[in-house]
Structure 1
Amino acid sequence: MTHMHITSWVLGFILFIVAFVLLKQGKNAKVVQMILRLDYLFILYTGGALLGDYISNSGMPILAEAITKGVAGVWLIAAMEMILVKSSKNKSVTGVWIQFVIALIIVMVLGFVRLPM
C-alpha cells in the first residue's frame, strides 16, 4: 500500500505543476484539475489505509505522529486546491504557498524520517 500511496502523490504533484503552469500561461486547465481531484481521492484512500495499518499495528507515540501526518496531508491537498483556484481567479496566493510549504515539510519529515512504513 505504501508504494501505491507514494505513486499517487507523486502523480498528484506532477498534475498540480502541470495545472499551475497552464493557469499561469492563461490556458484552460479544467481537465487537468479534474484528473487531479480524482487523484486526491486516491491519495486519501491509500493514506487512510496506511493510517489503518498504523492503528492496528503500533503503539500510541507512532499513532499520534501518523494522525498528525494524515491531518497535514489533508492540509496539503487543501493548499494545492486553493492555489489552483485562486490562481485561476488571479488572486494573491502568497499565503497559500507558505501553507503549502509548511504542510509539505511536515508530511515529508513524518513520512520519510519518523514513521516506519
Structure 2
Amino acid sequence: MFDNTHAHITTWTIAIILFAVAVFLRKTGNKKAATIVQMILRVFYLLIIATGVILFSKHSSYDPALYGIKFLFGLIVIAMMEMILVRLKLDKKTGMFWVILIISFIITFYIGAKLPLGWNWFA
C-alpha cells in the first residue's frame, strides 16, 4: 500500500478541499458548520502526517535530506492551515499566514513531485 503515494495524495487533496470549505463557511458566518468541518480537517491532518511518516520511513534512504525538507515544509503547510482557521475564528488578520501557506505548499509540492516516488514533471 505504501510503495506509492496514493494514500498520501488522497489525504492532502481531501484536506485542501476541507480547508477551502472551512474558510468559506467561516467567512459566510456559519460558525457551527465551520467548526465541524475544522474538526474533520484535524483528523485529516493526522492522516497526512501518518501517511507521510510511513512514506518517509520507507523511502527516505533515496535522499534523506530532501525527504526531511519536504517533511518539514509539509508540517508548516498543516500549521499554517490551522493558524488561518483559528485566526479567522478570532477575527484576526491572516494575510501573512496565507503567504507562508502558499509558499510552503509550492515548495512542498515541488519537492514531492521531484522525489523518486513523485511525478517526473521536473526532470
Gapped regions of structure 1 (runs ≥ 5):
none
Question: What is the distance in 1 between the residues matched to 2:73 and 2:35?
Answer: 26
What is the TM-score with the length of structure 2 in the denominator? Answer: 0.88
For this pair of structures, how many residues does the alignment match?
A: 112
Which residue does the alignment assign to 2:116? 116
Q: Does 1:17 align with 2:20?
A: yes
Question: What is the distance in 1 between the residues matched to 2:35 and 2:115?
Answer: 35
Amino acid at match of 1:101: I
Which residue does the alignment assign to 1:51? 56
Aligned to 1:50, what secondary structure does the other structure show? Answer: helix
Question: What is the distance in 2 between the residues matched to 1:44 and 1:5?
Answer: 9
Identity, % of aligned pairs? 41
**Runs of 4 or more consecutive aligned structure 1 residues displaced over 3 Å after TM superposition:** none
Shift of 1:53: 1.4
Aligned to 1:91, what secondary structure does the other structure show? Answer: coil
Which residue does the alignment assign to 1:72? 73
Map of 1:101-112 to 2, 5 A cutoff?
A: 101-112=102-113
Question: Normalized per residue, which structure has more helix?
Answer: 1
Question: What is the distance in 2 between the residues matched to 1:39 and 1:51?
Answer: 18
Gapped regions of structure 2 (runs ≥ 5):
118-123
What is the TM-score with the length of structure 1 in the denominator? Answer: 0.93
Aligned to 1:42, what secondary structure does the other structure show? Answer: helix
Question: Cα deviations across residues 90-111 of structure 1 (Å, max 9, x unaligned)?
Answer: 1100000010011101101001
Let me know the Cα RMSD of the aligned residues. Answer: 0.8
